[in-house]
Amino acid sequence: MEKIMVRGGKPLFGEVTVGGSKNAALPVLFAGILTRDTCVFANLPRVSDVLCTLKILRCLGARVFFYSNGDVAVDYRDMHAGTPPLELTGGIRGSVYLLGALLGRFGRASLAGAGGCNFGARPIDQHLRGFSLLGAEQTMEQGTLTLTAKSLTGCTIELAMPSVGATANLMMAATAAAGETVIGNAAAEPHVAALSDFLTAAGADVRGIGTGTVRVFGGTPLHGCRYTVIPDMIEAGTYLAAVMAAGGAVTVRDVLPLHLGAVLETLADMGAELKVTATTVRLTAPAAYDCAHLVTGPYPAFPTDLHPQFAALFCVGGRARGAGHVRETVWKERFRYTEELEKMGACVLRDAGAATFLPAPLHPATVEATDLRGGAALLIAALATAGETVITGASAVGRGYEKLQKKCRALGADVRVE
C-alpha cells in the first residue's frame, strides 16, 4: 500500500468489524518462542507488522502455517538464537520483544535495531535495566545489541514509568527465571493483560495484571496452546473518530468497550450519541461537536495511539467548535503529522509536548503519512473534506489497519488504495 486516495465530504453509515489487536498480537507471537512448542493463534490481524513478525520467526527457524478458517499456527520447536536481519527487525518496534523471549529460552538474544514509527527517540533503557537485574549481561557491537545469561534469577524491578514494552519484555524473561519476579509500576494496557493470558494458557504463573504490580513465578517449562487475539481498540477508536469527523452513524462490532473507557467518555463529552453493548459501539455523530482537552497517558488514561486521530477531529471547520488541546505525555515528539494537516488548511499551535487545534476550513491536498497513527489522522481529515486528498507513504498505515479500503467502502466512503 503506497497511496490512499480519498474523496471526502460524505457522511458514513453502516457497520464495521474490528480485527485483532496488532499491539497484542506482536508480543504474544514473540512470547510463543518460550513454549518450545506449537501455538495456534485465532483472530490474528494480517497487517504488515504481524506479517513481518512471522518472517522474523521464520528466519530463526520457526514454521508458520495458515489455515482456511483464519487460524495461524507457529511451530517454535526448531528455533535458534540467531540475529535476524536488520531489514526485518528495523521495520517494526515490536521486534524488541525478541530480547525477552530469546533470552528466556536460550540465555542469549541479539537484536540489530528496533524500528517502528519515526516520532522521536524511544529508548529501551528500562528493558535493559530489568534484564540486568534478572542476571543478563549486555554488549553492543556495530549496532547489534546482545544479551547473555548463564541463568536468570527472579528479582524486584521497579519501572521508572509504566512502560508497556518493558513490562511485556520482562514478563517474558521472568517466566524462565528461577523464583519470583516482581515488576513494580507495571503497565496495565489491555495488550499487557493479553500477554498475561497467553503466558498463563501456556503454563506460566503470572499474577497482579492491572494492579500496577505484576508477579511472575518462573522456572516452569511452558507448552503450546491456542490463543485468540483480543479486538483492536485503536482500530475501533479510529473508526469512531472518522464517523464523528465526517458525520453519520456507524456500528463498530467485535470490540471490547471496556478497553475504550477514556475514548468513549471523550466522545460523549464532545456530543456523540453512543449506544454500547458488550461487543458493539454505535456512534451517531451530531451536526456539530465540541472540541476536547486531551492528556495522553498509560492505561486507563487516554491512549497515545489515538491522540493524532482525535487531533484531526479538532481541525474540521464547520463541525468542530471551540479549541482542541492535546498534551502528549508518552511520546512527546508525536506531532509530525500536524505539518501534514496544515497542508490541508488546519490551524495548529505547537508547544513542547503539546498542541492546540483551532477549527478551520479544510481543503484537499497531497499529504504524507509520516507514521502509522499520523496517517490515520490524515485519513480522518480527508474523509471530512470535500474533494480528493492523496495520502502518500501509506505503507505506514498498512502497519496497523487491515482491509482498510474494504472497510471504508462498506461505510460509503470513497477510498482507494494503491
Q: What is the pLDDT of residues 220-274, one digit of tens each?
A: 999 999 999 999 999 999 999 999 999 999 999 999 999 999 999 999 999 999 9
Report the 10 Å Cβ neighbour count for 399: 26
- Collect all residues with Cβ–Cβ distance below 8 Å to 363 and sequence separation of at least 6: 344, 345, 385, 387
CA distance 185 to 214: 8
Q: Distance (Å, rounded) from C-alpha 283 to C-alpha 272? A: 6
Residue type, 394: A
Specify whether 39 is catalytic: no
Residue ranges for the chain with pLDDT beneath 50: 115-116, 118-119
The 10s digit of each residue's pLDDT in 174-216 is 999 999 999 999 999 999 999 999 999 999 999 999 999 999 9
Q: Are residues 80 and 195 in the same domain?
A: yes
HEC sequence for 101-132: HHHHHHCEEEEECCCCCCCCCCCCHHHHHHHH
Final residue in a domain of this structure, among 228, 262, 286:
228
207 and 278 housed in the same domain = no
Closest by CA to 57, choosing from 93, 30, 36, 77, is 30
Spatial separation of the C-alpha atoms in residues 112 and 371, rounded to whole Å = 21
Q: Judge whether 85 and 112 are in contact, CB under 8 Å.
A: yes
254 plus 322 within the same structural domain: yes
For residues 104 and 173, membership in a common domain is answered with: yes
pLDDT at 114: 58
Q: How many domains does the chain have?
A: 2
Q: Can you read off the three cell numbers belonging to residue 380?
A: 480522518
Q: Are residues 239 and 221 in the same domain?
A: no
pLDDT at 93: 86
Q: Which of 52, 117, 155, 291 is catalytic?
A: 117
Q: Do 173 and 304 belong to one domain? A: no
pLDDT at 123: 79
Handedness of CA 342, 346, 350, 353 (dihedral sign): negative
248 & 194 share domain? no
Q: What is the pTM of this model?
A: 0.95
Q: Clarify whether residues 236 and 219 are in a common domain.
A: no
Closest residue by Cα to residue 408 from 396, 400, 399, 417: 417
96-130: buried (b, 16+ CB within 10 Å) or exposed (e) per residue?
A: bbbbbbbbbbbbbbbbbbbbbbebeebebebbbbb
Instruction: Indicate if 211 and 286 belong to the same structural domain.
Output: no
pLDDT of residue 121: 52
Write out the residue range of the structural domain in which residue 47 sits: 22-228
The residue from 196, 212, 228 where one domain ends is: 228
One domain for residues 10 and 47: no
Which CATH number covers residue 284?
A: 3.65.10.10
Do 12 and 32 lie in one domain? The reply is no
Instruction: Verify that 209 and 279 share a domain, yes or no.
Output: no
- Of the candidates 207, 228, 249, which is a domain's last residue? 228
